[in-house]
Amino acid sequence: MMTELARLKFYATQPHTCSYLPEEQATTLFLDPSQPMDVQVYADLSDMGFHRS
pLDDT (tens digit, 9 = 90+) per residue, 26-45? 999 999 999 888 888 889 89
The pLDDT, as a whole number, for residue 36 is 85
For the chain, give the mean pLDDT. 88
pTM: 0.68
Give the CA diameter of the chain: 37
| 8 Å CB contact between 5 and 40 | no
User: Pick the residue with more confidence: 32 or 5?
Assistant: 32
Q: Name every residue whose Cβ is closer than 8 Å to that of residue 41 and which is 6 or more positions away in sequence.
A: 4, 5, 8
